[in-house]
Amino acid sequence: MINSSITEIKKRLAKKEINATELTKACLEQINKTDDTLGAFINLYPEEALKKAQELDQKGYNPDQALWGIPVSVKDALATKNMRTTAGSKILETFTPPYSAYVVEELEKAGAIILGKNNMDEFAMGSTCENSAYKKGSNPWNTDCVAGGSSGGSAISVASCQCFASLGTDTGGSIRQPASLCGIVGLKPTYGRVSRYGLLAYASSLDQIGPFARTVEDTALMLSVIAGHDERDSTSSPRAKEDFTKYFENPQKDLQGITIGLPKEFFENKAMDNEVAKLCQQTIEEAQKIGAKVKEVSMPNLAYSIASYYIIASAEASSNLARYDGIRYGHRTNQPKDLDELYRMSRTEGFGEEVQRRILLGTYVLSAGYYDAYYKKAAQVRRLIREDYENALKECDVLLAPVSPIVAWKKGSVTDPLQMYQMDIFTLSLNLSGLPGLSIPVGMAHNMPVGMQIFGSAFDEAKLFQVGHSLVEHLGTNNQYKL
Ligand code: GLN
């Protein structure tokens, strides 16, 4: 039961073969059984979840609520009223927000049951879920390996059937990469598609909230719930909500009429593992077998995405994180001798090493003497990268590329920060462009899951779902984790 898709389980809820309480209990049991090893949750709210499930059961199944009775989880970077929200950081260890993020409100309106808050790299800075101040996340397919990050906890909870779907955030790959390393589906929506009201910001010009699920259809359902205009986020697009699930009533089986662009700089990358590369090649051949035309395209500025991203993201982070000052909320140092020391010690004690590194880097690149040399250049490169995407998409419907050059690696094996940043080579550029990307599972290499990502034009998530669905159905990689 807990390994079915939302689409399947909804049919059973509607027929009253099971109820919301039974479903919630089953998920909580799976969490109890597995989470000591997996580390998907920082905070769990079992009593509240069961209470909500009982209330729903008393009222009875409501077909107008798209997620009626469905247990889900959310990344701990999203504000949840009356649920502790730490962003994976000690500095927010005691923070319980008095309000919920827009996306959390939307989940609740849709009748979803939020089980708890997912583990993450501190303030979403990381690629493995090892930078959490609370615990390390582990990959359900091999617990010696990383789950990916920063939304590692969200990906783990969905992959290991602790819940049916989850929300994460993607600033430079944090949804697509853990989805890929854990063998599930993850979407970074178009910038502006989903309101960030109530998101504890990392880098505001890059951050997007998006869903994880085990099938493409479930991912489309989640986006239908969380998208929509919200005036409390000034970057929220005025577009109304769309029902992305309509397409699945009669989905196209093949890829006739679709042209897929293959950006050669992704496939020629030297960091690519051979087995992963082989699987990507096979996936392209399978896409052709079901009717897709493929075309090589070029994105010459891809190589500069790491430098550009880490300058821009750190600059924005240094500004966003200035609000954690030990005065307004979160950790405050004991008995500082003056105000200066209060700021300094609260932040020194509250922030982890990676966060401090980025604040230092960010304030440096923004400082008067260096702004033109670093930040301004990075912003110019960003524009070129966006143009690369736009040019490539002029010739094709979507682009297809690997997500991670290698499968999930051993925990603790990458300790050099620069080496870690290199791992993001395939995901960072998309956020610099603002365009949407869907990560889908395409098979296994070295006994671990491999994902590929589909990029599309702004607000064309529907096309990503269409192509993603045909591919996973054909490859047989939808909902593949065996309990
Ligand atoms: N790994 C990247 C970083 O550390 C991306 C993280 C993210 O998308 N939140 O910044």
Which pair of structure tokens corresponds to residue 431?
């956020």
Q: 154 C-alpha vs ligand 1 centroid, how far in Å? A: 14
Looking at residue 348, what is its pLDDT? 97
Give per-residue pLDDT as tens, 147-200. 999 999 999 999 999 999 999 999 999 999 999 999 999 999 999 999 999 999
Burial class from Cβ neighbours inside 10 Å (0-12, 13-18, 19+) for residue 264 reads: middle
Looking at residue 355, what is its pLDDT? 98
Which pair of structure tokens corresponds to residue 205?
């010009």
Cα(65)–Cα(68) distance, integer angstroms = 5
3-state DSSP call for residue 138?
A: coil
Cα(122)–Cα(88) distance, integer angstroms = 4
Q: Please give the biggest Cα pair distance in the chain.
A: 71
3-state DSSP call for residue 263?
A: strand
Cα(453)–Cα(440) distance, integer angstroms = 6
Q: Is the pLDDT of residue 272 over 80?
A: yes
* Banded model confidence at residue 478, pLDDT cuts 50, 70, 90: confident
Strand order in the sheet with 437-445: 41-44, 113-118, 71-75, 165-170, 208-213, 185-188, 437-445, 448-455, 398-402, 259-263, 293-297
* Banded model confidence at residue 109, pLDDT cuts 50, 70, 90: very high
Q: Per the confidence metrics, is the pTM higher than 0.95?
A: yes
Cα(207)–Cα(216) distance, integer angstroms = 22
Looking at residue 306, what is its pLDDT? 97
Q: Is the pLDDT of residue 479 over 80?
A: no
Burial class from Cβ neighbours inside 10 Å (0-12, 13-18, 19+) for residue 386 reads: middle
3-state DSSP call for residue 341?
A: helix
186 lines ligand 1 (CB under 6 A): no
Burial class from Cβ neighbours inside 10 Å (0-12, 13-18, 19+) for residue 126 reads: buried
151 lines ligand 1 (CB under 6 A): no
> What is the bridge-based pairing of β-strands 113-118 and 41-44?
antiparallel
3-state DSSP call for residue 139?
A: strand
Cis preceding-peptide flag for 180 (omega within 30 of 0): no
Query: Ligand 1 test: best mutation among 78, 121, 208, 419, most atoms within 8 Å of CB?
Result: 121
- Looking from the CA of residue 206, the nearest atom of ligand 1 is 8
Query: Ligand 1 test: best mutation among 78, 119, 128, 174, most atoms within 8 Å of CB?
Result: 174
Q: 146 C-alpha vs ligand 1 centroid, how far in Å? A: 15
Nearest to 287 by CA among 454, 438, 479: 454
State mean pLDDT over 75-104. Answer: 97
Average pLDDT for the chain = 97
Q: How many CB atoms lie within 10 A of CB 234?
A: 10
Percent of the chain beyond pLDDT 70?
Answer: 100
Looking at residue 162, what is its pLDDT? 98
H/E stretch holding 155 reads helix 152-159
State mean pLDDT over 33-61. Answer: 98
Q: What is the DSSP letter of 158?
A: H
Q: Is the pLDDT of residue 481 over 80?
A: no
Report the Cα 24 to chain-centroid distance in Å. 23
DSSP for 353-394 reads HHHHHHHHHHHHHHSTTTTIIIIIHHHHHHHHHHHHHHHHHH
Q: Is the pLDDT of residue 34 over 80?
A: yes
Give per-residue pLDDT as tens, 427-470. 999 999 999 999 999 999 999 999 999 999 999 999 999 999 99
Q: 253 C-alpha vs ligand 1 centroid, how far in Å? A: 34
Q: Is the pLDDT of residue 330 over 90?
A: no
Active site residues: 75, 150, 174
Q: Which amino acid is at 122?
A: E
Q: 197 C-alpha vs ligand 1 centroid, how far in Å? A: 19
State mean pLDDT over 353-359. Answer: 98
Give per-residue pLDDT as tens, 186-203. 999 999 999 999 999 999
172 lines ligand 1 (CB under 6 A): yes
Contacts of 461 (CB under 8 A, 6+ apart): 187, 189, 190, 193, 220, 223, 244, 436, 438
Q: How many CB atoms lie within 10 A of CB 376?
A: 13
Q: How many CB atoms lie within 10 A of CB 55?
A: 12
Nearest to 150 by CA among 130, 134, 167: 130
CA dihedral 230, 235, 240, 241 (to 10 degrees): -80
Burial class from Cβ neighbours inside 10 Å (0-12, 13-18, 19+) for residue 339 reads: exposed
125 lines ligand 1 (CB under 6 A): yes
Give per-residue pLDDT as tens, 238-266. 999 999 999 999 999 999 999 999 999 99
DSSP for 4-26 reads S-HHHHHHHHHTTSS-HHHHHHH
Query: Ligand 1 test: best mutation among 75, 120, 122, 127, most atoms within 8 Å of CB?
Result: 127
H/E stretch holding 346 reads helix 339-350
Nearest to 76 by CA among 222, 231, 202: 202
Nearest to 44 by CA among 163, 144, 152: 163
Which pair of structure tokens corresponds to residue 426?
């395939």
Contact 169, 199 (CB under 8 A): yes
127 lines ligand 1 (CB under 6 A): yes
Burial pattern 95-113, b for ≥16 Cβ within 10 A else e, equals: bebeebbbbbbbbbebbbb
171 lines ligand 1 (CB under 6 A): yes
Looking at residue 329, what is its pLDDT? 83
